[in-house]
Chains A and B, each alone.
Chain A
Amino acid sequence: MAALTIAAGTGNWFSALALGVTLLKCLLIPTYHSTDFEVHRNWLAITHSLPISQWYYEATSEWTLDYPPFFAWFEYILSHVAKYFDQEMLNVRNLNYSSSRTLLFQRFSVIFMDVLFVYAVHECCKCIDGKKVGKELTEKPKFILSVLLLWNFGLLIVDHIHFQYNGFLFGLMLLSIARLFQKRHMEGAFLFAVLLHFKHIYLYVAPAYGVYLLRSYCFTANKPDGSIRWNSFSFVRVISLGLVVFLVSALSLGPFLALNQLPQVFSRLFPFKRGLCHAYWAPNFWALYNGLDKVLSVIGLKLKFLDPNNIPKASMTSGLVQQFQHTVLPSVTPLATLICTLIAILPSIFCLWFKPQGPRGFLRCLTLCALSSFMFGWHVHEKAILLAILPMSLLSVQKAGDASIFLILTTTGHYSLFPLLFTAPELPIKILLMLLFTIYSISSLKTLFRKEKPLFNWMETFYLLGLGPLEVCCEFVFPFTSWKVKYPFLPLLLTSVYCAVGITYAWFKLYVSVLIDPPVGKTKKQ
């Protein structure tokens, strides 16, 4: 009985939270899954049945392998478990194969890999300073943080309904962040290098890592005013960091270098032939840009400034990934987005270099990097917003200002994921889970910071409340109106533009707060 007590953990809230969400994930197994399910099945088949030299050349299915080598190896390992479930799913020619055993195996592999995420969250909770420990368990920052991370709405629907393996990847990222907090810099760098070779989207936040490690690890001391002491530079540390990154990359890319396939691998990893925006515009700067273009073209047509015959007919959100010609505004090239992204990232990097604020400053810079690339990147997926939301959760439980930005960012970011699930049976699930997460995050953070000024001003409150009517219009009213046939893309456009406003606002507000925040030395004096 005693063993049972310990195992079940009386009062051990963390394991209860983790187990609870795991069970919820199990309940989500029969839900709708997107083509990503077939993508991953195909990768299982490719890595299982073909030699390494074929991995990045195989193109029977349209869903070719376009993740870095570590992920391919991960699929390779999975496939050796998969063969005990159903041998058929490992056949490259078996397109769109989804037996019930395949479904079970793939879903459970995601759930099982989330163990790493749970461990990472556990480690992150240790890094949160518990100064403001209230009497109630539910008011402790650690408790709130673990709910915000473990029960994250975006991660739940993207991984366990839509189907992807983001859980353990974010686990790696959070774990490396936690290691940096714990001053175990080498481990942190190693984990992040590994992560990069699992999924290259994390390159977005690499600048923050690079600068932080260089500034706060390779330079061992600061001047009293917080500025850099150039003679404290440690060559041993730089070299060891470089060695770690180099070794990891060699392990990952080495075999393909030996096979002389690197160009092919990179052409798969960075497909610039895709359009500026995904089929559904991610709510970023380009969504606003496209929206403005639409509005201008409609006004232009009304006022007869534009010739209807010169306007390209393809509507942007018709569901296909395609090049899109802007009608009024100049078209955007990949290079332009790259420059915009770099310009957007630079100030935060400068901040990290000139006003080092320890791991917290790093975390804010990381969030800004992720958000800025989301704002201006080429062919950004709406799912990439999680890259900003999850690290930002760590900040939100420590400072009221960050909490308010976090809430705006999360709520709009999560809402912008709604179009991922468009089937009727999943409609209640996404609404319920969204309400669950949003109500919890807002209420708990409000309780946590109840002694400080209110988290939202009237404008922000109004904006967030507006999401409710927007959802009602888009999914309950619009399908019954006559516009459904004429403008089928209108709900997506509205959602995208509305959310883009909120995310841009959050990005801007976070930037301002980072830039005007005094360096750590001065705050201590105060």
Chain B
Amino acid sequence: MEKWYLMTIVVLIGLTVRWTVSLNSYSGAGKPPMFGDYEAQRHWQEITFNLPVKQWYFNSSDNNLQYWGLDYPPLTAYHSLLCAYVAKFINPDWIALHTSRGFESQAHKLFMRTTVLIADLLIYIPAVVLYCCCLKDISTKKKIANALCILLYPGLILIDYGHFQYNSVSLGFALWGVLGVSCDWDLLGSLAFCLAINYKQMELYHSLPFFCFLLGKCFKKGLKGKGFVLLVKLACTVVASFVLCWLPFFTEREQTLQVLRRLFPVDRGLFEDKVANIWCSFNVFLKIRDILPRHIQLIMSFCFTFLSLLPACIKLILQPSSKGFKFTLVSCALSFFLFSFQVHEKSILLVSLPVCLVLSEIPFMSTWFLLVSTFSLLPLLLKDELLMPSVVTTMAFFIACVTSFSIFEKTSEEELQLKSFSISVRKYLPCFTFLSRMIQYLFLISVITMVLLTLTTVTLDPPQKLPDLFSVLVCFVSCLNFLFFLVYFNIIIMWDSKSGRNQKKIT
């Protein structure tokens, strides 16, 4: 590529922003007794380093599961162990059993931040760069601009480098998976995706589109011939990678079951804290959590999720295409986020990742979605004292998107990919010509609401009777936006292939 230096610049900008954000506070800084996610990650290093594998997921006198017990799949545990070895080399106090609880120091913060940066640099960033280089039908300049926007996405930066988590690892593996599957390296793709699931169980949000896409590919090749061979190969890859990751836990049945119980804590309820999904928003009007018994909640959320993602998945099996695959990733992840059981506010990143991937195809809507997704994290970010970096990175991201895609000029029906939809609606409603303008106004309303709500949250104190008023409002507004996006993405998926078929007929 002749513009390699611009790509380097883009990566360096991404890294600089990441590191400057990491100079800020992290979750639970100086807040005993529980601290926050930062302490959780440190505690996992302590546990994995000092205890034998068999005790990692079990409650014991050395491993109090009530205090940030390990509840992520084995790959996270191995990663913690690796970091713990480095920590041990630098300063053994950081991971000493029991005594290191709540350890905080400048040097330790620096170490933890560096581990995030290294993981990001090794897994997520190369995947983004490679993905943008592999994009078809766009100029080199656009590819670089695309990489810049993806790398500047504020949600991921703020959660990983501000709040403190390792989302870039699981998302990075998922991205490698997408990359592999779209480039027809199906085995490598599924291997990468298995690693993603084994790093963070939330990656299951993406699993259905992967499954459907690969299944669709097998069907397309013919289940009796090559397709069957591919299917067997894929199955073997998946099973093998899972077995490898879970090897120490397969020795006893109880081990495996305990890990699973830790990964899927069904008794923790329909939702926790404030999440911008349906259940939390609906909770404003009706306290579902208290009215319905737990198993009904579980079934109900399962049914809703399943129904909302079914059409897109069926479509993908019948007509597997890498474009449809990306859109289905978005809509499935969004359905999971909105309807499923026990969702965290940070899970919105799982939706944002595939949205980043379609940034070059529908820049206007993607930018809008990514802004809303960052906004939905506002209560969390405020709690971590990350207001300043949030505002700054969001603005930087917005400016990057506006300048590299000139998004405000791309609001025609064609560019919103709604052409075929509005044509088919116009058959019944000839006056349906206001779609593009309507979406522009919706965008304006949505952005103004978000700005105003941010301002009020930051400046005003909530009334004493309703201490959570603003955070509930933030969640409610974001949830409304997300519902709109769910409808939009489903429309695109459903009408997309039709237009494709029409074009084929014409040509």
Q: Could you tell me which A residues sit within 8 Å of B by CB distance? A: 1, 4-5, 8-13, 16, 19-20, 23-24, 26-31, 136, 138, 424-425, 428-429, 432-433, 435-436, 439-440, 443-444
Contact = CB atoms under 8 A, between A and B. Distances in A.
Nearest to B19: A428
A436 B20 contact: no
B444 interface: yes
A407 to B, nearest CB: 14
A27 B402 contact: no
B399 A436 contact: no
B392 interface: yes
Contact of B20 (A4, A10, A429): A429
A31 B400 CA distance: 24
Interface of B: 5-6, 8-9, 12-13, 15-17, 19-21, 23-24, 106-107, 110, 117, 141, 388-389, 392-393, 395-396, 399-400, 402-403, 406, 408-409, 411, 440, 444
Label chain B's interface by main secondary structure. helix
Contacts of B13: 436
A384 B62 CA distance: 58
Contacts of B399: 8, 16, 19-20, 23
A5 B409 contact: yes
Given A26-B392, A27-B389, A439 B20 contact: no
Contacts of A20: 396, 399-400
A10 B406 contact: yes
Nearest to B12: A436
A439 B408 contact: no
Contact of A16 (B110, B117, B403, B440): B403
Nearest to A6: B408
Contact of B5 (A11, A28, A29, A443): A443
Residue from A1, A11, A27, A28 having most chain B Cβ neighbours under 10 A: A27
Contacts of A13: 403
A377 to B, nearest CB: 33
B16 A440 contact: no
Closest 6 CB pairs of A and B: A443-B5, A10-B406, A27-B20, A16-B403, A436-B12, A5-B408
B21 A11 contact: no
A11 B403 contact: yes
Contacts of B406: 10-11
Contacts of B20: 24, 27-28, 31, 429
A136 B141 contact: yes
A129 B392 CA distance: 35
A1 B23 contact: no
11 contacts: A10-B403, A16-B402, A16-B403, A23-B395, A23-B399, A27-B20, A136-B141, A425-B23, A425-B106, A428-B117, A439-B9
Contacts of A8: 399, 402-403, 408
A5 B400 CA distance: 14
A312 B138 CA distance: 68
A26 B23 CA distance: 12
Contacts of A30: 23-24
Given A27-B392, A138-B6, A10 B408 contact: yes
B447 to A, nearest CB: 9
Nearest to B22: A425
Given A8-B402, A12-B403, A425-B106, 18 more contacts: A4-B408, A8-B403, A9-B403, A10-B402, A10-B403, A10-B408, A16-B399, A16-B400, A16-B403, A20-B400, A24-B17, A31-B23, A424-B107, A425-B23, A428-B15, A436-B12, A436-B16, A444-B5
A4 to B, nearest CB: 6
B358 to A, nearest CB: 21
Contact of A439 (B12, B16, B24, B393): B12
A1 B444 CA distance: 8
A399 to B, nearest CB: 21
Contacts of B19: 428-429, 432
A424 B24 CA distance: 15
Contact of A1 (B5, B24, B440): B440
B359 to A, nearest CB: 16
Contacts of A439: 5, 8-9, 12
Contacts of A29: 388
Contacts of A19: 395, 399
A435 B403 contact: no
A30 B392 CA distance: 13
Contacts of A23: 392-393, 395-396, 399
A454 to B, nearest CB: 16
A20 B403 CA distance: 11
Contact of B16 (A136, A433, A443, A444): A433
A505 to B, nearest CB: 25
A366 B16 CA distance: 33
